[in-house]
């Protein structure tokens, strides 16, 4: 077994949902002694049935806490759907968003705390005490990018005309089948980073961008004023979410197209830009010609399929090694 | 089979939970063509996990809509408890109130409508569309006694000193094991009857008091200004909840003791009083001496155990016949 010798012990990871959560599990395996601060995307958050649902925070929390549905990558294990079925019997929707009974409990607790006036960061910390252990003992800490409401909306044109829909409606209900004309993080420009976000970045040895959606996950986090420049001042290494010209999972291509970025590993690196990104891992399938490299970004090719936790730990280790080199 | 010939076709029933709901099922059997307006007690309502729970309204709705847990008399049939178990895993209580998954859906829908600004009466009507059919076609209509917050509190003295607790805490958590020093319907004096309540009473041929708790169910309804005098102007026949000097179910004796009323069928009749009550059904076990009768109230003895729907229909039929005689 290979001994980890990286000097990187304080790590910040801006993460979306499934891809980010799975990468984090590998990162924990690769760097068991590191302090990891996860800055969670909240642009996908949505109010359903009067309850505040935070899909990306929950996916990270459930995955790292051992409560995730491993097959689908989101939602709770051993889940049942009595509440949802009953809501449908009352004629109350939407039915397209799959909230299970165990998952409902999370949203009920969150909503109760939010209604009582706690900010989302405090609510998230309270929920994480169950999944990640007492706050003071956590090697991995999850903080929402902001306590302010930021909501990703997608402009589409369909039978109802040109209109903005909530990201979840486009992503989950429409399965991104209608082209996104634009994607807007509503409220982002007035949002402040949540308490602890800027401190964690300032204190970090490196920022690792996981293979989360570069537009609606990492991109939304970076759109909160203050976060991008704070990260840019650090060593930042990213893992490409695009392998062989296609997203490994999800529909990141539809999001990239909406913002005019080609669906390729290098185009994503160029989109992040050399002022943010120092190093970039691409899959061996995307190993660039010398000509194709992005100026100012060190690109390294290696297998990037997160087939299991061991393979994912190898990817995380490669990212940490590259960060250590580039510091 | 006996043909129902009672001239009573418009009936108002102020009802609590289990006893009231079961009586109503018998009343529907006894008078299938009657228009029944149920005025539901909301003094037992409680906010749990940020959701508004209306135990008595729901017990009536589930019982008459075929969704009740027949064994326990409250809650949903085929119920599961995933949400509650998960809430406990988060350390969120109280655990002593048994909310099942299917039941949670009702409270989620109710809360969402209340948060949107609908009054409880409109919310109840919407929920009942599922259980009792389209509002315009309902032979039985359920209206909460008031849209205003009325909450039954119980003053007790225990290890924590003398204090007021919510009725549900005394009833469900403490099982009425600590004596009630007083029982107060907080907010009642400022409450208004919900829309439709006074009209239904004014329009009724008779008011039937079911064998609900005379203190915290029927008594709370009567405490809303305007309801008692409106009923007193009508023919009112009650069914004793006390048989052989004890409540048939529940802990009505503990409530009666708190307000200084003996636990006997006739004492309850006297408590309601002749200005409200015209007729009173007592069990054959409680058939009074001529001396013991309450002045101004016609007392009739007959079997009152609601052993099944047929037996309950017989009781309801007797109440209607007595009301028809006394009009």
Q: A34-78 pLDDT, tens per residue?
A: 999 999 999 999 999 999 999 999 999 999 999 999 999 999 999
**Confidence check: pLDDT of A95 > 90:** no
Residue A224: give its domain's CATH number. Answer: 3.40.50.10680
Residue B1: inside a domain, yes or no?
A: no
Residue numbers of B between 93 and 112 with CB closer than 8 Å to A? 100-102, 104-106, 108-109, 111-112
Indicate whether B178 and B139 sit together in one domain: no
pLDDT number for residue A103: 98
Q: Do B105 and A91 touch (CB under 8 A)?
A: no
By the CB < 8 Å criterion, does B48 face chain A? no
Q: Do B130 and A91 touch (CB under 8 A)?
A: yes
Q: Which of A168, A174, A184, A187 is nearest to A48 (CA)?
A: A168
Residue A225: inside a domain, yes or no?
A: yes
Cβ atoms of residues A145 and A231 within 8 Å: no
3-state DSSP call for residue A104? helix
Indicate whether B68 and B213 sit together in one domain: yes
pLDDT number for residue A87: 97
Residues B172, A80, A173: CA angle, nearest 5 degrees: 125
Chain B closest CA to A91's CA: distance in Å? 9
Q: Do B80 and A83 touch (CB under 8 A)?
A: no
> CA nearest A105 in B: which residue?
B83
pLDDT number for residue A102: 98
Chain A closest CA to B39's CA: distance in Å? 22
Chain A closest CA to B71's CA: distance in Å? 20
Name the average pLDDT for chain A. Answer: 94
pLDDT number for residue B249: 82
In chain B, the DSSP E strands lie at: 10-15, 35-40, 46-48, 51-53, 140-144, 151-158, 161-166, 182-186, 206-209, 236-239, 242-243, 246-247, 279-282, 298-301
ipTM, two decimals, is: 0.90
Q: Per-residue pLDDT tens for B126-184?
A: 999 999 999 889 999 999 999 999 999 999 999 999 999 999 999 999 999 999 999 99
Indicate whether B265 and B304 sit together in one domain: yes
CA A148 to chain centre: 17
Cβ atoms of residues B147 and B118 within 8 Å: no
Strands B161-166 and A279-282: unpaired
- Best of B50, B114, B115 to disrupt the A interface (most A CBs within 10 Å) is B50
pLDDT number for residue B210: 98
Q: Do A86 and B80 touch (CB under 8 A)?
A: no
Longest Cα separation, chain A: 61
3-state DSSP call for residue A163? strand
- For the record, the structure tokens of A67 come out as 């409560």
Cross-chain CB nearest to B101 (options A91, A101, A111) = A101
On chain B, the residues whose CB falls within 8 A of the CB of A112 are 49-50, 92
What is the percentage of chain A residues whose pLDDT exceeds 70? 97
By the CB < 8 Å criterion, does A117 face chain B? no
- Banded model confidence at residue B115, pLDDT cuts 50, 70, 90: very high
Cross-chain CB nearest to A50 (options B90, B106, B115) = B115
pLDDT number for residue A238: 98
On chain A, the residues whose CB falls within 8 A of the CB of B100 are 82
pLDDT number for residue A248: 85
B199 CB neighbour count, 10 Å cutoff? 13
Query: When comparing pLDDT for B80 and A249, which is higher?
Result: B80
Domain holding B268, by residue range, is 10-147+189-326
Cβ-count burial of B308 within 10 angstroms (0-12 exposed, 13-18 middle, 19+ buried)? exposed
Q: Do A102 and B86 touch (CB under 8 A)?
A: yes
Q: Do B83 and A108 touch (CB under 8 A)?
A: yes
Cross-chain CB nearest to A83 (options B85, B89, B105) = B105
Residue where a domain stops, chosen among B186, B210, B239? B186
Residue where a domain stops, chosen among B186, B208, B238? B186
- Best of B51, B109, B129 to disrupt the A interface (most A CBs within 10 Å) is B109
3-state DSSP call for residue A28? helix
Residue B22: inside a domain, yes or no?
A: yes
Indicate whether B297 and B216 sit together in one domain: yes
Q: Which of A233, A322, A324 is nearest to A281 (CA)?
A: A322
For tokens 């669906």, the residue is A263
On chain B, the residues whose CB falls within 8 A of the CB of A80 are 80, 82, 101
pLDDT number for residue A291: 58
pLDDT average, residue stretch B70-91: 96
Q: Per-residue pLDDT tens for A168-197?
A: 999 999 999 999 999 999 999 999 999 999
Indicate whether B258 and B136 sit together in one domain: yes
Residue A253: inside a domain, yes or no?
A: yes
Which are the contacts of B75, defined by CB distance < 8 A and separation ≥ 6?
A: B62, B68, B69, B98, B100, B103
pLDDT number for residue A294: 82
Indicate whether B177 and B203 sit together in one domain: no
- Best of A47, A62, A83 to disrupt the B interface (most B CBs within 10 Å) is A83
pLDDT average, residue stretch B31-51: 97
Residue B2: inside a domain, yes or no?
A: no
Q: Per-residue pLDDT tens for B262-319?
A: 999 999 999 999 999 999 999 999 987 755 678 899 999 999 999 999 999 999 999 9
For tokens 């998954």, the residue is B101
Q: How far apart are CA A264 and CA A289, in angstroms?
A: 14
Indicate whether B100 and B200 sit together in one domain: yes
Angle at which helices B82-89 and A101-115 cross, to 10°: 50
pLDDT number for residue B7: 78
On chain B, the residues whose CB falls within 8 A of the CB of A85 are 105
Residue A301: inside a domain, yes or no?
A: yes
**Confidence check: pLDDT of B84 > 90:** yes
Indicate whether B315 and B167 sit together in one domain: no
Q: Per-residue pLDDT tens for A294-325?
A: 889 999 999 999 999 999 999 999 999 999 99
Query: When comparing pLDDT for B294 and B66, which is higher?
Result: B66
Which are the contacts of A189, defined by CB distance < 8 A and separation ≥ 6?
A: A223, A225
Cβ-count burial of B193 within 10 angstroms (0-12 exposed, 13-18 middle, 19+ buried)? buried
Indicate whether B181 and B308 sit together in one domain: no
In what helix (H) or strand (E) does residue A242 lie, and over which residues does it extend?
A: strand A242-243
Q: Do B105 and A87 touch (CB under 8 A)?
A: yes
Cross-chain CB nearest to B112 (options A49, A82, A106) = A49
Cross-chain CB nearest to A82 (options B49, B102, B111) = B102
pLDDT number for residue B292: 64
Residues A124, A128, A129: CA angle, nearest 5 degrees: 125
As for how many domains chain A has, the answer is 1
Q: How far apart are CA A57 and CA A3, in angstroms?
A: 31
Residue B5: inside a domain, yes or no?
A: no
Residue A103: inside a domain, yes or no?
A: no
* Beta-bridge partners for B247: B242
Angle at which helices B101-115 and B120-132 cross, to 10°: 140
pLDDT average, residue stretch A72-89: 96
3-state DSSP call for residue A175? coil
**Confidence check: pLDDT of A223 > 80:** yes
pLDDT number for residue B288: 73
């Amino acid at each position: 077994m290979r001994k980890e010798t990286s000097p990187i012990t304080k790590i910040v990871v801006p993460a979306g949902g499934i891809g980010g959560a799975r990468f984090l599990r590998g990162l924990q395996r690769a760097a068991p002694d590191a302090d990891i601060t996860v800055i969670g995307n909240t642009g996908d958050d949505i109010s359903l049935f009067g309850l505040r649902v935070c899909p990306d925070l929950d996916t990270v929390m459930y995955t790292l806490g051992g409560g995730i549905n491993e097959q689908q990558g989101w939602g709770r294990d051993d889940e049942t759907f009595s509440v949802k079925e009953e809501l449908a019997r009352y004629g109350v929707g939407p039915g397209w968003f799959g909230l299970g009974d165990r998952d409902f409990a999370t949203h009920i607790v969150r909503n109760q705390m939010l209604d009582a006036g706690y900010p989302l960061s405090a609510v998230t910390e309270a929920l994480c005490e169950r999944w990640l252990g007492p706050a003071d003992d956590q090697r991995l800490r999850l903080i929402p990018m902001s306590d302010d409401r930021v909501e990703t909306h997608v402009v589409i044109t369909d039978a109802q005309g040109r209109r903005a829909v909530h990201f979840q409606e486009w992503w989950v209900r429409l399965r991104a089948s209608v082209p996104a004309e634009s994607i807007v993080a509503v409220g982002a420009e007035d949002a402040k980073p949540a308490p602890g976000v800027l401190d964690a970045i300032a204190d970090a040895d490196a920022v690792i961008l996981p293979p989360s959606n570069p537009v609606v996950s990492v991109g939304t986090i970076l759109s909160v004023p203050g976060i991008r420049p704070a990260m840019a001042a650090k060593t930042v290494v990213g893992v490409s979410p695009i392998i062989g010209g296609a997203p490994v999972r999800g529909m990141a291509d539809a999001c990239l197209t909406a913002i005019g970025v080609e669906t390729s590993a290098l185009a994503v690196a160029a989109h992040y830009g050399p002022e943010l990104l120092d190093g970039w891992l691409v899959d061996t399938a995307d190993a660039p010609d010398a000509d194709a490299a992005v100026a100012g970004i060190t690109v390294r090719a290696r297998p990037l399929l997160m087939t299991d936790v061991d393979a994912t730990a190898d990817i995380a280790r490669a990212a940490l090694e590259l960060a250590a080199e580039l510091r």
